[in-house]
Amino acid sequence: MELQQASNVVCTCQRRSGLQGQIRPSRSAGRLSEAALNRSLPPKKEQACRCQPLRAVQKTMAAAVEAPVLEAPAVDYKHSLLAGREDYDKMYKRSIEDPAGFWGDIAKGYHWEQQWEDDHHNHNFDVAAGRISTEFFKGGRTNIAYNCLDRHVQEGRGDVDCLLWEANDPGTDRRMTYSETLAEVCRLANWLRAQGIKKGDAVAIYMPMLCELPIAMLACARIGAVHSVIFAGFSPESIASRIQDCKARVVLAASAVKRGKKAIDLKSMVDKALDVSSKEGFEVKKCLVCHNASSGSGKEVTHMKDGRDVWWDTEIPSQKPESEVEWVHSEDPLFLLYTSGSTGKPKGVLHSTGGYMVMAGTTSRYVFDLQPGDVYWCTADCGWITGHTYLTYGPLLCGATNVVFEGTPTYPTPARSWQVVEKFKVKQYYTAPTLIRSLLGSGNEHVTAHDRSSLKILGTVGEPINPEAWKWYSEVVGEGKLPIVDTWWQTETGAHMITPLPGVFPAKPGSATLPFFGVAPAMVNEHGHEIQGPGEGYLCIKQAWPSTIRTIFGDHDRYETTYFAGFKGLYFSGDGCRRDEDGYYWITGRVDDVINVSGHRIGTAEVESALTLHPKCAEAAVVGYEHPIKGQGIYAYVSLREGEALDDALKKELVMTVRGNIGAFAAPDVVHWAPGLLKTRSGKIMRRVLRKIASKEESQLGDTSTLADPGVVDQLLSNRP
């Protein structure tokens, strides 16, 4: 897992030319009084912005701009770790001015086998000054699995529930205490060591939401192995590319899963992926398969390859329930998680151990007010970063009880979420706006029929939440009594970056509010000049935070080019934002070629490449458009080979091609036949206009004079689906 040295990096500013929408001073988004804020607002600069046009951003926040509503903290919420805004301001100021001291004091709350050095923190975000790097707790040695499990058991909480599993079909569940979870983690850790897996080796995990999934992650962490969880919905080709990229010699898999009414044979997809890898010269040594009885299929229908595939329930129970801890250095890698990039090839985001551990635990504690024994439910899958930080590591670092939910929160009825909340007496509920919008349209009776009195905090993640959904979530689910934490962060950031803190300062529906400790946002224009006061621009971060992405695995040059070359000395998030007159941040959407579908980032180039694998597709261009449930949908323009015609059958084939090569979650929602793809004279696709056509905003197409064939616009408008 050795990281590559950086070479010369070319600035990416040129790639942002020709973007749409003006950076401008923002309209007030529900201005707060100074008394409500309990502080003096920073001085405002009355100056016009003269930057180049900002790239077109998605309009998720349009309603918030037009009709913001101010909501005060819930009066019934008295449990905040902070006394109020004054405490936040004091802690935030220190976290920015003295990050080493601030985070060092917090890190003392975790077990370190070896203390870090006095001068433990440094970072460089300027490519001109040398290699981009971040370091926290230099010289320290720890283990995140030990801090998640052993620490609590040794403190007398071994009998507290650690994992509460709820099957896809109601009526089947499982409980594991901290002691039981630790024993199972140790057994799997011993088995991995018996396969020759050691510190720094990669292990791929392709499993649904079973207890065995977080157990697998923790077992890898216990021995210093680097886990790479692959969402159990990716195609065999996507699985194979990730296995080969991280060079995983062992795969941990499951036989099958049932999601809603649909049964999915996961093992067959793993088999195909390993066949692809084998043909391309990479062999996986072992595949440990967990039989998932809740899928409804028996072991006899699962294909097992002799010498490679073995069953979990025959291999693991015989292992010892104790396992030696591998004490790793703070900057040793913890996991790889692949996320979509604008170039088409997924990026292996690498997070290190110490900084990630401290940030995951601290954000969980302050944002969700997580206390030992709290029953916490994050509806995300561990195949995504939310499932890593806020289903596995963060809650367990706090000693909470985690709900692990196998199914979909609307099956068999839209009441399922609230049935689970009532059953387990969930205190913190963290989900995506996509689900909230879906439940909103199903009727309030599904919510109100169930006891939700255990709830104390509601959260949202993955995309900005529209004000209508926010208010429904607050008034119907929370009965107007509960704080909502609308969190902004990324796979690359590892943990919350901009987020409300419950009971500390007022919320505005649709706003991520204010930065978390140690996070120094910078809103900049096209030229990288910071915009002071209210305005709109690119969202960057000025200095490192503990869970900063350390590199893109095997491609440090791409890491530097993607996140740091565009704006001098800044981490560029790829998101646009507005900041209102009260300093609150509003995320306006991606400003690169990545679509956010139900909180999942999907690279447009990735989908385009999959579409062109179909023999009848000559070329494709993919853009995002506003979707009432998913936030953004995938809109695909396709040009066919000469003599081919687009009909419903071919549309289905194209969609299935994407499903087969990436996964069902990346399937286009709309397929639009295009006689041409609106190229400029230099051959570049004018995606700005394609987005407008997809969004039915033909009156706002803007300048099309640089198109090689402007007549294609009329053709696209005339045959729009």
Of these ranges, 400-404, 441-445, 679-683, the one predicted with the greatest mean pLDDT is 400-404
Domain boundaries, the chain: 13-115+126-136+487-590, 143-408, 594-718
Residue 201: per-residue pLDDT: 98
Residue 63: per-residue pLDDT: 36
Do 225 and 323 meet the contact criterion of CB atoms below 8 Å apart?
no
Cα(284)–Cα(304) distance, rounded to whole angstroms?
14
Distances in whole angstroms, Cα of residue 584 to Cα of each of 43, 52, 371, 503, 542: 15, 24, 28, 16, 17
Instruction: Identify the architecture of domain 13-115+126-136+487-590 in CATH.
Output: Roll (2.30)
What confidence tens digit (pLDDT) does each residue in 301-332 have?
999 999 999 999 999 999 999 999 999 999 99
Least confident of 93-102, 419-428, 603-612: 603-612
Mean pLDDT over residues 595-602, rounded? 83
Residue 206: per-residue pLDDT: 98
Answer yes or no: is pLDDT of 299 > 70.
yes
What integer best gives the mean pLDDT of the chain?
87
Cα(368)–Cα(362) distance, rounded to whole angstroms?
10
What confidence tens digit (pLDDT) does each residue in 630-668 have?
889 999 999 898 888 889 999 999 999 999 989 998 999
Distances in whole angstroms, Cα of residue 704 to Cα of each of 264, 282, 652, 678: 46, 48, 32, 9
Residue 678: per-residue pLDDT: 83
Tell me, which fold does domain 594-718 have in CATH? GMP Synthetase; Chain A, domain 3 (3.30.300)
Answer yes or no: is pLDDT of 513 > 50.
yes
Answer yes or no: is pLDDT of 564 > 80.
yes
DSSP 616-657: TEEEEEEEEEEETTTEEEEEEEEEEPTT----HHHHHHHHHH
Using DSSP, state whether 404 is helix, strand or coil. strand
pLDDT band, residue 71 (cuts 50/70/90): low
119 a catalytic residue: no
Quote the pTM value: 0.81
Q: What is the dihedral of CA 271, 273, 279, 280, to 10 degrees?
A: -150
Residue 380: per-residue pLDDT: 94
What confidence tens digit (pLDDT) does each residue in 240-277 have?
999 999 999 999 999 999 999 989 999 999 999 999 99
Q: How far is CA 18 from the centre of its chain?
A: 29
Cα(498)–Cα(492) distance, rounded to whole angstroms?
14
Do 607 and 662 meet the contact criterion of CB atoms below 8 Å apart?
yes
Token digits of residue 423 = 């059953």
**Catalytic residue from among 245, 309, 369, 592:** 592
pLDDT band, residue 467 (cuts 50/70/90): confident
In the chain, how many H helices and how many E strands?
23, 30
Residue 285: per-residue pLDDT: 95
Place of tokens 């700005």: 688
Residues whose CB is less than 8 angstroms from the CB of residue 287 and which lie 6 or more positions away in sequence, other chains included: 250, 251, 252, 253, 270, 274, 305, 308, 309, 310
Q: What percent of the chain has pLDDT over 90?
A: 68
Token digits of residue 462 = 């993955």
Residue 21: per-residue pLDDT: 29
Answer yes or no: is pLDDT of 46 > 60.
no
Answer yes or no: is pLDDT of 7 > 60.
no
Answer yes or no: is pLDDT of 62 > 80.
no
Place of tokens 């590591």: 393
Answer yes or no: is pLDDT of 521 > 90.
yes
Q: In the chain, what are the helix, strand and coil shares in percent, each to the nearest 5?
A: 30, 20, 45
Answer yes or no: is pLDDT of 10 > 80.
no
Residues whose CB is less than 8 angstroms from the CB of residue 317 and which lie 6 or more positions away in sequence, other chains included: 187
Token digits of residue 402 = 């985690």
Mean pLDDT over residues 415-431, rounded? 98
CATH code, residues 143-408: 3.40.50.12780
User: On the CB side of 315, how many CA atoms lie within 13 Å of its CA?
Assistant: 21
Mean pLDDT over residues 560-580, rounded? 94
Answer yes or no: is pLDDT of 42 > 80.
no
Residue 20: per-residue pLDDT: 28
pLDDT band, residue 681 (cuts 50/70/90): low
Asked if domains 13-115+126-136+487-590 and 143-408 share a fold, the reply is no
Helix (H) or strand (E) holding 184: helix 178-194
Residue 195: per-residue pLDDT: 98
Residue 61: per-residue pLDDT: 36
Residue 4: per-residue pLDDT: 33
